[in-house]
């Protein structure tokens, strides 16, 4: 295809503003998705994504389009995820585009992720086209929202598009506008091959699938390519594009977006952000290196039965093939036995991985409460990072503990400012800025310890603002703090998997709340169970579960047999999620108790 007839674009939006719905309408309008294949959110391929209504992995589709002027064009739509945990996926997808549709919900306005995505788009020099969505809703306020976009972003909105992705109103105009305003790709066919990897994943049958965008040069099926960073060479075994189903082609030229297989076994050989070039004539100017992705949230994952250790390991390995941002290492817990320490980008990423494990691999898991990484300096001068609170050295050994901080922007209607400030102060935040975006909406900037966010921050923010706040954050580094380890003992036995690190001012209160919560989540047994919280050698809380009297089980006798069987089955189900600690049965819930103490 002649590059002049190609447009590569993305859709960016705050979550729920209608990005996936707009993509669906575009596919329908261009006749790309036949009626029988029609289903909501076509680009959200994974079942999990559809159920949760979020987009996890970026997807791409090539759309042939006949414009009003009768000319044939190719539109490459590169879908991006909308959640803050996945902003690295957004940035690499945007680097493959020349333009972006900025979708803003006309009933909501500019939110934290709207701004964050706009900045990523500006970083990549994209042409940004403002699109006001949901104008079919009676509560839409297009005039006010347009003004908000102009003020908050400084984007000219005089030609902003008004659409309803739901009814399809205004969507044809969106396509024409893309043709008019998004610049065609500027690559040279004669130059050495230079293509950007913006996504890659593992396919169990074909090996690694690489999604790329050609900047200069061209690619032929069967050609030898070189990964610029490693200089490793591969032979293309299949070249193709998504139309929207995978379709094989022999050739792709400058500006085109496609996929390739090349018998690549290891996802690390097709690193996102890397440059693909020709083995025979490599380019001298690769794309600048992308940010390396660092896991920020860690938890232990343990099989509920020791015999499931190997299957769990296999499952984790397979998941990692598909998700370069997820990592894991074997670890041993006194309480839980052999398992794995896993690293994630954020809490949502963690939840998704755990759900996928249980769904796709039928693994029965015990997960420990999430934690952040800490930087520890010992009195003999060594500095290292720990990602498990139980690894913290003895108190006498420690010179300093530093914890990760984030800079967070919270967007909120002004009547909730007070509640947000109170929450951030309670979470040890340091206020950095507060300004009015419009007369009724405020942007509050705080620096906060990341650990405080991991524990219930988002739920609290949502509840104190009745869901009207939105936020975005980035990690800014490690800073020293007065931190101590809080241990849990059950019948005198330390439960290493329940240890947490807390700020000294809060540790005492936390210990008491945690002991109480555990008393409530650990079922009564036939003997007494003592639950204690300790800081160092000092016991700060003690709770007791009295023994059950044996005849309580007598209740089960008699009655309808099917009901009883159901009850038994349910019990069995629950049991699998228990962990036997010595002679105490501890349910999965108890390991998560630290997450919701208030
Ligand atoms: P995304 O998170 O940006 O991908 O948002 P979705 O496309 O999943 O849309 C979020 C919700 O808004 C869904 O329930 C959609 O049905 C709804 N929605 C999207 N566009 C419109 C629209 O134009 N009008 C109305 N009334 N609802 C819409
Ligand atoms: Mg979506």
pLDDT in tens, 508-529: 999 999 999 999 888 888 888 9
pLDDT of 39 > 70? The answer is no
| Ligand nearest to the CA of residue 18, numbered in listed order | 1
pLDDT of 57 > 90? The answer is no
Report which ligand 1 atom has the smallest distance to the Cα of 21. Answer: 7
**Average pLDDT of the segment spanning 41-67:** 63
Buried b (16+ CB within 10 A) or exposed e, 89-128: bbbbbbbbbbbbbbbbbbbbbbbbbbbbbbebbeebebeb
Q: Return the minimum-mean-pLDDT range out of 149-153, 431-435, 478-482.
A: 149-153
Report which ligand 1 atom has the smallest distance to the Cα of 165. Answer: 23
Helix (H) or strand (E) holding 26: helix 19-29
pLDDT tens string 245-284:
778 999 999 999 999 999 998 877 887 788 999 999 999 8
Give the per-residue pLDDT at 190: 93
* CA torsion through residues 346, 352, 355, 360, sign: negative
- Tell me how crowded residue 350 is: count the other CB atoms within 10 A of its CB: 24
Residue linked to tokens 């330390």: 494
Half-sphere exposure of 118 (CA within 13 A, CB side): 20
Q: How confident is the model at residue 196 (pLDDT cuts 50, 70, 90)?
A: very high
Probe target for ligand 1 pocket from 16, 18, 107, 174, with the most ligand atoms within 8 Å of CB: 18
Is the Cβ atom of 164 under 6 angstroms away from ligand 1? yes
Largest CA distance in the chain: 86
**Distance from C-alpha of 217 to C-alpha of 222, rounded to nearest angstrom:** 16
pLDDT of 20 > 80? The answer is yes
Angle (CA) 14 16 22, round 5°: 95
Q: How confident is the model at residue 58 (pLDDT cuts 50, 70, 90)?
A: very low
Give the per-residue pLDDT at 556: 46
**Distance from C-alpha of 400 to C-alpha of 541, rounded to nearest angstrom:** 26
pLDDT of 321 > 80? The answer is no
Probe target for ligand 1 pocket from 21, 53, 169, with the most ligand atoms within 8 Å of CB: 21
Report how far ligand 2's centroid is from the alpha carbon of 105 (Å).
13
Is the Cβ atom of 114 under 6 angstroms away from ligand 1? no
Q: Is the peptide bond before 244 cis (omega within 30 degrees of 0)?
A: yes
Report which ligand 1 atom has the smallest distance to the Cα of 135. Answer: 23
Is the Cβ atom of 20 under 6 angstroms away from ligand 1? yes
Is the Cβ atom of 53 under 6 angstroms away from ligand 1? yes
Known binding residues: 16-21, 133-136
Report how far ligand 2's centroid is from the alpha carbon of 117 (Å).
14
Is the Cβ atom of 136 under 6 angstroms away from ligand 1? yes
**Distance from C-alpha of 382 to C-alpha of 400, rounded to nearest angstrom:** 10
- Rounded percentage of the chain residues whose pLDDT exceeds 90: 49
**Average pLDDT of the segment spanning 560-574:** 56
Contact residues for 310 (Cβ-Cβ < 8 A; gap 6+): none
Per-residue DSSP letter, 371? B
Ligand 1, atom 9: closest residue by C-alpha: 18
Tokens of 176: 């024409």
* CA torsion through residues 203, 207, 209, 210, sign: positive
Is the Cβ atom of 59 under 6 angstroms away from ligand 1? no
**Distance from C-alpha of 342 to C-alpha of 329, rounded to nearest angstrom:** 7
Tokens of 14: 């705050």
Ligand 1, atom 11: closest residue by C-alpha: 16
Residue linked to tokens 């069967």: 222
Angle (CA) 407 411 412, round 5°: 135
Using DSSP's 3-state secondary structure scheme, residue 1 falls into coil
The DSSP line for 400-418 is: EEEEEEEEEEEEEEGGGHH
| Ligand nearest to the CA of residue 103, numbered in listed order | 1
Mean pLDDT of the chain: 85
Report how far ligand 2's centroid is from the alpha carbon of 67 (Å).
26
Q: How confident is the model at residue 40 (pLDDT cuts 50, 70, 90)?
A: low
CA distance readout (Å), 358 to 103, 202, 578: 34, 19, 16
Q: How confident is the model at residue 87 (pLDDT cuts 50, 70, 90)?
A: low
Ligand 1, atom 17: closest residue by C-alpha: 18
Report how far ligand 1's centroid is from the alpha carbon of 109 (Å).
14
pLDDT tens string 392-440:
998 899 999 999 999 999 999 999 999 999 999 999 999 999 999 888 8
ipTM: 0.99
**Distance from C-alpha of 386 to C-alpha of 393, rounded to nearest angstrom:** 10
Report how far ligand 1's centroid is from the alpha carbon of 166 (Å).
7
**Distance from C-alpha of 163 to C-alpha of 347, rounded to nearest angstrom:** 33
Q: How confident is the model at residue 382 (pLDDT cuts 50, 70, 90)?
A: very high
For 54, phi then psi, to 5°, come to -125, 165
| Ligand nearest to the CA of residue 107, numbered in listed order | 1
| Paired residues of 330 in beta bridges | 340
Report how far ligand 1's centroid is from the alpha carbon of 340 (Å).
38
**Distance from C-alpha of 363 to C-alpha of 305, rounded to nearest angstrom:** 10
Using DSSP's 3-state secondary structure scheme, residue 235 falls into strand
Using DSSP's 3-state secondary structure scheme, residue 60 falls into strand
Known binding residues for GTP: 16-21, 133-136
Give the per-residue pLDDT at 56: 42
**Distance from C-alpha of 540 to C-alpha of 484, rounded to nearest angstrom:** 13
Report which ligand 1 atom has the smallest distance to the Cα of 13. Answer: 3
Q: Return the minimum-mean-pLDDT range out of 108-122, 496-510, 543-557.
A: 543-557
């Amino acid at each position: 295809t002649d590059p002049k007839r190609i447009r590569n674009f993305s859709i960016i939006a705050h979550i729920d503003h209608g990005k996936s719905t707009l993509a669906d309408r575009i596919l329908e309008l261009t006749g790309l998705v036949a009626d029988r294949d029609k289903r909501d959110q076509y680009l959200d391929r994974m079942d999990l994504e559809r159920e949760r209504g979020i987009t996890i992995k970026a997807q791409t589709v090539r759309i042939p389009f006949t414009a009003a002027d009768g000319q044939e064009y190719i539109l490459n739509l590169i879908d991006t995820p909308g959640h803050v945990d996945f902003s690295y996926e957004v940035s690499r997808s945007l680097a493959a585009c020349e333009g972006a549709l900025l979708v803003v919900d006309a009933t909501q306005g500019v939110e934290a992720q709207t701004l964050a995505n706009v900045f990523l788009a500006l970083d990549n020099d994209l042409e940004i086209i403002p699109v006001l969505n949901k104008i079919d809703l009676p509560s839409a306020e297009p005039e006010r929202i347009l003004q908000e976009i102009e003020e908050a972003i400084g984007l000219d909105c005089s030609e902003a598009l008004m659409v309803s992705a739901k009814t399809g109103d205004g969507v044809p105009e969106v396509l024409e506008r893309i043709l008019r305003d998004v610049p065609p790709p500027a690559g040279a066919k004669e130059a050495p091959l230079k293509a950007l990897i913006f996504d890659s994943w593992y396919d169990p049958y074909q090996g690694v699938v690489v999604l790329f965008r050609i900047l200069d040069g061209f690619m032929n099926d069967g050609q030898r390519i070189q990964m610029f960073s490693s200089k490793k060479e591969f032979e293309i075994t299949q070249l193709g594009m998504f139309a929207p189903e995978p379709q094989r082609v022999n050739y792709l030229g400058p500006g085109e977006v496609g996929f390739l297989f090349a018998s690549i076994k290891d996802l690390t050989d097709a690193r996102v952000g890397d440059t693909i070039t020709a083995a025979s004539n490599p380019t001298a100017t690769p794309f600048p290196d992308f940010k390396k992705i660092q896991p920020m949230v860690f938890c232990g994952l343990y099989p509920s039965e020791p015999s499931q250790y190997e299957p769990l390991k296999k499952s984790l390995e397979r998941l990692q093939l598909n998700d370069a941002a997820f990592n894991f290492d074997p670890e041993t817990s006194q309480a839980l036995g052999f398992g794995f320490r896993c690293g994630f980008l954020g809490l949502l990423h963690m939840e998704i991985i755990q759900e996928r494990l249980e769904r796709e691999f039928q693994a029965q898991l015990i997960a420990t409460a999430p934690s952040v990484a800490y930087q520890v300096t010992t009195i003999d001068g060594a500095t290292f990072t720990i990602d498990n609170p139980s690894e913290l050295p003895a108190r006498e050994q420690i010179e300093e503990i530093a914890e990760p901080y984030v800079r967070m922007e919270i967007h909120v209607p002004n009547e909730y400012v007070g509640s947000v400030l109170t929450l951030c102060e309670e979470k040890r935040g340091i206020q950095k800025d507060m300004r009015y975006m419009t007369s009724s909406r405020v942007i509050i900037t705080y620096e906060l310890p990341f650990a405080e966010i991991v524990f219930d921050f988002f739920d609290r923010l949502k509840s104190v603002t009745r869901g009207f706040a939105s936020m975005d954050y980035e990690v800014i580094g490690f800073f020293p703090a007065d931190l101590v380890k809080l241990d849990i003992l059950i019948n005198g036995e330390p439960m290493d998997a329940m240890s947490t690190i807390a700020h000294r001012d809060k540790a005492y209160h936390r210990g008491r709340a945690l002991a109480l919560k555990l008393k409530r989540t650990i079922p009564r047994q036939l003997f007494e169970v003592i639950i204690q919280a300790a800081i160092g050698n000092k016991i700060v809380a003690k709770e007791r579960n009295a023994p059950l009297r044996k005849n309580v089980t007598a209740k089960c006798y008699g009655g309808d047999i099917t009901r009883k069987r159901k009850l038994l089955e349910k019990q069995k189900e629950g049991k699998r999620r228990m962990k036997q600690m010595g002679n105490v049965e501890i349910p999965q819930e108890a390991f998560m108790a630290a997450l919701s103490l208030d």
